[in-house]
Amino acid sequence: MASRVVAIIMGAAVLAAILLPLGAVWSASDGLVRPTADDWASIRFTVYQASLSAVISVGLAIPVARALFYRHFWGRDVVVMLMGAPFILPVIVAVLGLISVFGQNGLVNGVLGYFGVKTVSIYGLQGILLAHVFFNLPLATRMVLAAWGAIPTERLRLAQSLGLSGLALFRIIEAPMLLRVIPAAFAVIFVICLSSFAVALTLGGGPKATTLELAIYQAFRFDFDLGKAASLGMIQLGLAGSAAVALTLIGVRTDLGQGLDRPVLRIGDPVWRIILDVFHIMWAAAFLLVPLGMVMAYGLWGISSLGGDVWIAAGRSILMALASTVLCLGIALCLMHKWGEVIGSLGIAISPLVLGTGVFLMLRKIGNPFEYALVVTLCVNALMALPFVLRILRPAAEDTRAHYGRLAQSLGLSPWAWVRWVLVPRMARTLGFAAGLVAALAMGDLGVIALFGTAEHATLPLKLYQLMGAYRMSQAAAAAVLLVGISLGLFWLFERLGRRYA
Amino acid sequence: MLELKKTVVTQGTFHIQLPDLAFDPGVTAIMGPSGAGKSTVLAAIGGFIALRQRSLFWEGVDISQYPPSKRPMAVLFQDNNLFPHLSLFRNVALAVSSKTRLPAPQAELVEQALSRVGLAGMGERRPSDVSGGQQSRAALARVLLQDKPIVLLDEPFSALGPAMKQDMLDLLADLTAERGATVIMVTHDPNDAKRIAHKISVVDRGTATPPMPTETALATGGPLAGYLSG
């Protein structure tokens, strides 16, 4: 069958795109040598910060999720939606926002200074944790909230009619649910933070706060020691790869879940409980909104003063993001089978920097790798988004196949006619959502491009990073507003297109 | 003549032992208690469940290994007969072509099929914009246009009210009779069979009877007696 041939070719291509660079990294590294003392420090720090990030995120998420589950209030849906937004928010923008709240001249230090307290630095472990919690608290909240929502309503009503409350309710219903979801949420966030690069790049550094990803970047950019970068790449691959495999084996799924509703009506809760819940929702919303609000407030006015190079970088980023989206969805449509999802999921186990290092080593043999910066970024972004996209698309595709497969078979629709007349129209909404995610992720990516990027190939996030490095903060804030606007705009546009054709 | 040779049809852990069955032109109903495997037998004939080699013959040719679209059959399923996102015209047109712009002669054929089932001028509507009966008519129009000598029906009108269902059965019987088509129809309603079937095959207890005249099957003491009274 023609479609099967296409699927096999595409699967092989994706596999090659992942394995060939890994092979290049392997052969450039010194093989299985013992890590140096510095390497050990990076390994220890990587694991340490990832564990702490996960513990803090999940710990803080539980009361927030609980409050969101039990409280009915106007705007609750908006808050739940807000919890999904950091996924498509460019990391560099969030970092800029956190700096403007918690940085040297930020809001918090301003208040502390007023009372004569010594200022706290945002750079180092505490800054990395802050940023990781900013991104993963919402993810953890959504996972825990989903688990709360998955408790059958009848069971909660039964508990209410039996008069179970407080501790009894917790022991009988909530604790077992939490015991199941907490390890899952912890594991997902731990794996994400193991490969965190942009946060470590902007807020970490120095001997005490260098993650493996950052060490790869430094070996590459500062020392141009490709052998060392490759060796570190192997260590990173072993660490993040085995964690990701373990994650898959224990069957944890990162659910981007779209809506979780049906809040349960609670009558007769003590007042302190309600006040506590309101407090949790307020600080969580403030923690997410204030940093972004600060950037927006600073940056909005500066947009007109942005230099031409920033606008050109923005245009370059948009083209790259659109190409990534087309490539990623094209691959995904060919790989919507069980083993296709397995191949596609390899992207989770491999960090963009390791992949980028491998591609660089390969390209070096045929020319100047820096010339290919955008093409490489585009492809790596497509590969990195693939696991999420496949996870979103596959259920919809299987649904369509289950409903209309026989009819299509009896009509003898060609594979192309099936895609053209049935699959794409039926899945328009899901496709739009997935395309929006890829475009926003690619738009905000600061990963491989940092390895390869030169002034003439800079994307908007890289440009923003360079502005921050030069302490041109008002320009950086303006560029951040532009970046957020385009990222969210692309997401909105694709989502909208999908709805239109659904 | 469509001939099914003695064989076993398997779906998961469910087996049906079939004797030689022959279907001649006209409507043959497949009846039996629910869960007995009526739809399974139909799915095997339609090519949706694998059949052994040399177990299904059309005019003497072994078609048991043909994919569904290569079999001389059009199918009406219980539901999902129309793609909800496509217009009635496009749904019917898929029987002959999946081109975006249909050549004029083919477009003409589609319009004719729509008029034959009483849907003239309604081609641009979507399935959700018309009644259940009209949806069934559109599906029937497509079956007409597919122009296959065999038509398989899996309780296709069961969602319609009784009067509407009788209309559709009559329309189906008329349209297929004028082409001398062989119709095999799964139904649980003896009235359907009485109305348009000239033969009935009874599926029960893991096997099936060869088609017998409708009156015999439905007669008191016939093979369906227990089922009818129960």
- Tokens representing A183 are 């390890």
Letter string b/e over residues A202-219, b meaning 16 or more CB atoms within 10 A of that residue's CB: bbbbeeebbbbbbbbbbb
* Interchain proximity A406–B75, CB inside 8 Å: yes
Closest CA in chain A for residue B47: A410
* Interchain proximity B98–A406, CB inside 8 Å: no
Q: Phi, psi (5° rounding) for residue A328?
A: -65, -45
Nearest chain B Cα distance for residue A225, angstroms: 56
Q: What residues of A are in contact with residue B69 (Cβ under 8 Å)?
A: 409-413
Class of domain B1-72+149-161+178-230: alpha beta
Q: Which amino acid is present at A210?
A: T
List the single residue in B75, B90, B98 with the smallest CB-CB distance to A413. B98
Closest CA in chain A for residue B87: A421
Residue A236 CA: distances (Å) to CA of A199, A209, A213, A229, B59: 16, 16, 7, 10, 66
pLDDT value for A268: 59
pLDDT value for A479: 95
* Interchain proximity A421–B146, CB inside 8 Å: no
* Interchain proximity A407–B46, CB inside 8 Å: no
Ranges of H-type helices in A335-411 = 338-349, 352-363, 373-411
Q: What residues of A are in contact with residue B98 (Cβ under 8 Å)?
A: 413-414, 416-417, 420-421
| Domain total in chain A | 1
Size of interface A-B (CB pairs under 8 A): 54
pLDDT value for A255: 47
Within the 68-87 window of chain B, which residues sit less than 8 Å (CB to CB) from chain A?
A: 68-70, 73-75, 77, 80-81, 83, 85-86
Domain ranges of chain B: 1-72+149-161+178-230, 80-147
Q: Distance between CA atoms of A236 and A259, rounded to whole angstroms?
A: 35
pLDDT value for B229: 59
- Tokens representing B158 are 């069961």
Range of the domain at A99: 2-30+58-123+137-182+263-501
Nearest chain B Cα distance for residue A81, angstroms: 29
pLDDT value for A1: 47
Q: Does B95 touch chain A (CB under 8 A)?
A: yes
- Tokens representing B29 are 């109903």
* Interchain proximity A407–B77, CB inside 8 Å: yes
Q: What is the ipTM score, two decimals?
A: 0.70
Q: Answer yes or no: is A75 within a domain.
A: yes
Give the CATH number, domain containing residue A390: 1.10.3720.10
How many CB atoms lie under 10 A from the CB of residue A123? 16
Q: Answer yes or no: is A53 within a domain.
A: no
Q: Answer yes or no: is A38 within a domain.
A: no
Q: Is the dihedral of CA B177, B180, B186, B190 positive or negative?
A: positive
Q: Answer yes or no: is A21 within a domain.
A: yes
Q: What residues of B are in contact with residue A404 (Cβ under 8 Å)?
A: 80, 83
* Interchain proximity A412–B69, CB inside 8 Å: yes
List the single residue in B73, B77, B98 with the smallest CB-CB distance to A420. B98
Closest alpha carbon to A23 in A230, A221, A229, A215: A230
| Low-confidence residues of chain B: pLDDT under 70 | 226-230
List the single residue in A403, A409, A425 with the smallest CB-CB distance to B80. A403
Q: At what angle do helices A2-28 and A338-349 cross, to 10 degrees?
A: 20
The pTM of the full predicted model, rounded to 2 decimals, is 0.77
* Interchain proximity A410–B70, CB inside 8 Å: no
Interface of A with B (CB under 8 A): 403-404, 406-407, 409-414, 416-417, 420-422, 425-426, 502
Q: What residues of B are in contact with residue A410 (Cβ under 8 Å)?
A: 46-47, 68-69, 73-75
Helix and strand element counts for chain A (H, E):
23, 0
Mean pLDDT (10-residue bins), chain A, 502 residues: 75 88 82 74 93 96 92 84 86 93 84 78 91 94 87 68 70 83 90 90 85 90 84 86 77 47 58 89 93 90 86 95 95 83 78 87 87 89 90 86 88 85 89 94 91 84 92 91 95 90 71
Q: Answer yes or no: is A237 within a domain.
A: no
